[in-house]
Amino acid sequence: MARNIVQHSLTATRQLSLATALAVINLSQPATAQPAPATGTTTAGAPTSPTPPLAATTGPGAYANRFDRAYGNTFAERERDWRNGAVVYQVLVDRFAPSLNLEAKRHLYPAPKTLKPWTAQAVRGTYREDLGLWSHEIDFWGGDLASLRSKLGYVQGLGTDVLYLNPIHLGYTNHKYDSLDFNVVSPEFGSRDDLRALIKESHSRGMKVVLDGVFNHMGQHAEIFKQAKRDPSSPFRDWFNFSPKFEGGARTWYDAQNLPELNLENPKVREHIYAGRDSVVRSYLRDGADGWRLDVAYDIGFNYLEELRRAAHEEKPGSLVVGEVANYPKEWFPSLDGVMNFTLTEIIISTAKGLLPAATSTRMVERMVTDVGIENMLKSWVLLDNHDTDRIATTIPQSNLRRLAQILQFTLPGAPNLYYGSEIDMTGGEDPAMRSPMAWDQVRDDHPSIVWTKQLIKLRKDHRALRIGDFRPITSTSLMAFERHTDRVEDTILVFVNPSDKAVTETVMHGNSKLMDGRLLVDVIGKTAPVEPRAAMPRITLPPYSFLVLKPVVTPVKGYTGYKRVQ
């Protein structure tokens, strides 16, 4: 009876404003409750064992059901862990902010290195046989840790939780993936003291700092490699793998002559990198760093990664070890805390570009959450681009499709990773074009994409389930549809994405037993009219290339809410 009244009221007011609709829906009354059977009997009169009360009748958790209570402190513990659902902002130090005193360090870029004007774009060079690398790898723009520090207000202003720095170790190239000494900060960038100052200020602004660890290989100009190569009796000889079967005489990463691989099977190498008290991993954590992103983590392997992760946690409990792993992530835990979730990246971009049926995309994510586990998913980074891929504005040039990808990046489980400049739609394709310097001349408060980025970040900060909630698929044929939820109904978020070129109207089914029939679901990011729940089967209408993010209205209207006895 109550539902009939509710449906009649909703039908009559469908075209009214949300406030009016909520007022009208208040005319419905709950059905008369049936008396519970007396203790010790069933409804048929058969004796039963006394049933203890399920919960207290007042106070926090008074209306938690048995499923809520099964979670225990799960969500509170997730919320206390900064690694879960954090917003990460990635920078290449050389390319992010112009040096505050370039002339004072111009001597650090001797030929054949070149120092480019900040307005120049990164372009592909030629391969230098004499150097064993590409000429664009030694093009520099002069950014450093001090200039980055001067821009922390901008990074913080976006709503960033974590600042992630590409490698800063002493290296010959601009990208520093060819480390010469892990313990030294490259002088073009500054010093360990400059790094400590950056970390200290980042922390004062409420941001963590994650460093890039390149521990599978070093650079050919590293003194220990050069010594080991020329002297078979060198104590560093077995830090690398030398053999005439390798081009150049040593095993290198992907046959790049500039990147000789480390022999991780040598305990002394592992001691230097992570196992020893004064190892690279531990010493930077003591300097204040909050975690490590591990380059080519798949090359390091499951077992050594697990050892490294354990060492990092021993040194700094709660630190993050996230790995660059493009494989399916299932078995990379507990070797890592999280992965750069390239599988999820592919699902998101393929969905936005119409290369995957929407419902298939939902099933893929559901399988991944089941296989990987939500705890590991929440700590894994969700990226649309980075320093190794085309920028997202190049991959998806259409702004409406790009926004579909971005709404998925910020609503699916994980920690969104923003690559510097993506918030102003910087473009760039094949290496090194995606590594051009930050276009500060385009940064303004009313830039549409900066406004949109801040809106997405605020969406996560305002809605707990998007940061730490579980994932549940919504049954749909034509939409990518899912729910993020906690043990509190008010946290619930429902997401619908239509990546097709046709409007979609269909009845879907969610799986949330707490969402009340007759209580509206409202759009939290756009201006779509409220949606009627319809007994867990709302009817959703979406124009082409659009999305909808809904949450329930749980607050009383004129004193009434169906949620009064639901946690």
Q: 154 and 177, same structural domain?
A: yes
Please check the confidence at residue 29 and state whether its pLDDT lies above 80: no
- Are both 442 and 426 inside the same structural domain? yes
Read off the pLDDT of residues 283-303 as tens digits, 9 standing for 90 and up. 999 999 999 999 999 999 999
| pLDDT tens per residue across span 118-131 | 999 999 999 999 99
* Strands 114-115 vs 139-140: parallel, antiparallel or unpaired: parallel
pLDDT tens column, 139-171: 999 999 999 999 999 999 999 999 999 999 999
Residue 250 lies in a domain: yes
The tens digit of pLDDT for each residue in 496-509 reads 999 999 999 999 99
d(CA 458, CA 413): 16
Cα 165 from Cα 171, distance rounded (Å): 15
CB atoms within 10 A of CB 48: 11
Q: Which two tokens stand for residue 552?
A: 């329930």
- 307: annotated active-site residue: no
Give the number of other CB atoms < 10 A from CB of residue 51. 10
Q: Is 46 exposed, middle or buried (0-12, 13-18, 19+ CB in 10 A)?
A: exposed
What is the model's pLDDT at position 526?
85
Strand-pair partners of 534: none
Q: Which of 206, 234, 258 is the last residue of a domain?
A: 258
Separation of alpha carbons 23 and 42, rounded Å: 40
Q: What is the mean pLDDT of residues 259-288?
A: 98
Across the range 438-453, mean pLDDT stands at: 98
pLDDT of residue 25: 31
Tell whether the model's pLDDT for residue 12 goes beyond 50.
Answer: no
Structural domain includes residue 507: no
User: What CATH code is carried by the domain that includes residue 162?
Assistant: 3.20.20.80
Instruction: Considering the candidates 68, 137, 295, 470, report the single residue annotated as catalytic.
Output: 295
Residue 501 among the catalytic residues: no
Q: Are residues 275 and 313 in the same domain?
A: yes
Place of tokens 């705890």: 375
Instruction: Domain of residue 324: give its range.
Output: 84-98+143-218+259-468
Dist CA 445 CA 437 (whole Å): 20
- Round to whole Å and give the CA distance between 555 and 517: 14
Q: Is the pLDDT of residue 32 over 90?
A: no
How many domains, in total, are found in the chain?
2
Higher per-residue pLDDT: 141 or 528: 141
328 shares a domain with 229 = no
**Do 253 and 364 belong to one domain?**
no
Q: Is the pLDDT at 5 greater than 60, yes or no?
A: no
Q: Do residues 227 and 207 share a domain? A: no
For residues 529-538, give the mean pLDDT: 93
443: in domain: yes
- Dist CA 201 CA 214 (whole Å): 25
253 and 264 share one domain = no
Give the distance, in angstroms, between the CA of residue 302 and the centroid of all CA atoms in the same chain. 22
Residue 557: predicted pLDDT: 87
- Residues 240, 317 within the same domain: no
Residues 357 and 337 in one domain: yes
170/29: higher pLDDT: 170
Rounded mean pLDDT of 186-195? 98
Lowest mean pLDDT among 26-30, 136-140, 466-470, 490-494: 26-30
Catalytic choice (68, 161, 212, 324): 324
Half-sphere exposure of 215 (CA within 13 A, CB side): 30
Place 56 in a pLDDT band, splitting at 50, 70 and 90: low
Q: pLDDT averaged over the chain?
A: 91
Residue in 375, 369, 380, 404 with CA at minimum distance from that of residue 483: 369
